[in-house]
Amino acid sequence: MAVKANTNTSDDRQKQSQEVASGQAKSVVYTHDPQRVVEDIRDQLAAADKPLAFLFGAGTSGVNIAPDPPPGQKRKVIPLIPGIGGLTDQCRNTVCALGKKHKEAWSNLEQHCKEESRFVNIENILSTIQTRIEGMGASDQLSGLTKAEWKDVEKSIRQAIAKAVLLEGKTIPDHMPQDDFASWVSRCERSLPLEIFTINYDVLIERSLERAGVPLFDGFVGAYEPFFCPDSLERTELCSSPRWTRLWKIHGSVNWQLKKRQAGVQVIRTQPSTTGEMILPSRLKYDESRKMPYTAMLDLLARTVDRDASVLMTCGYSFGDEHVNSTIFTALDNMRRAHVIALMHDALTPDADVVRRAQARPNFVVVGPNGGVIKGQWAEWRLLSPVDASTHSYMDLSWDSQAAPEQGKGAADPDNPSLQGQMKLGDFEWFCKFLLTIARESGDET
Q: What's the pLDDT at 217?
A: 93
Cα(140)–Cα(130) distance, integer angstroms: 15
Check pLDDT > 90 for residue 106: yes
Confidence of residue 284 (pLDDT cuts 50, 70, 90): very low
Domain range summary for the chain, segments of one domain joined by +:
36-67+172-252+283-381+425-445, 84-165
Confidence of residue 350 (pLDDT cuts 50, 70, 90): very high
By residue count, the chain amounts to 446
Buried b / exposed e along 379-401 (16+ C-beta atoms within 10 A): bbbbbeeebeeebeebbbbbbbb
Q: What's the pLDDT at 8?
A: 54
Are 399 and 375 in contact, with CB atoms under 8 Å apart?
no
| pLDDT digits 0-9 by tens, 121-171 | 888 898 899 889 988 999 999 999 999 999 999 999 999 999 999 988 788
**What is each CA distance from 227 to 153, 204, 218, 231, 285, in whole angstroms?**
28, 20, 10, 12, 19
Q: What's the pLDDT at 402?
A: 75
| pLDDT digits 0-9 by tens, 164-205 | 999 887 888 999 999 999 999 999 888 899 999 999 999 999
CB atoms within 10 A of CB 418: 15
Most confident of 64-73, 138-147, 431-440: 138-147
Most confident of 21-35, 69-83, 287-301, 411-425: 69-83
As a whole-number percent, the residues of the chain with pLDDT over 90 amount to 63
- Fold category of 36-67+172-252+283-381+425-445 in CATH: Rossmann fold (3.40.50)
Q: What's the pLDDT at 19?
A: 46
- Closest CA relative to residue 179, chosen from 63, 67, 58: 63
Overall average pLDDT of the 78-100 stretch: 93
Q: What's the pLDDT at 282?
A: 53
Q: What's the pLDDT at 16?
A: 47
Beta carbons within 8 Å of 295's beta carbon, 6+ residues apart? 283
Mean pLDDT of the chain: 87
| pLDDT digits 0-9 by tens, 43-53 | 999 998 899 99
Are 309 and 51 in contact, with CB atoms under 8 Å apart?
yes
This prediction's pTM: 0.88
Overall average pLDDT of the 407-425 stretch: 69
Q: Which amino acid belongs to residue 308?
A: D
Q: What's the pLDDT at 17?
A: 44
Q: What's the pLDDT at 408?
A: 46
Confidence of residue 276 (pLDDT cuts 50, 70, 90): confident
| pLDDT digits 0-9 by tens, 365-394 | 999 999 999 999 999 999 999 898 889 889
Check pLDDT > 80 for residue 406: no
SS3 216: strand
Helix (H) or strand (E) holding 63: none
Q: What's the pLDDT at 35?
A: 96
Check pLDDT > 50 for residue 21: no
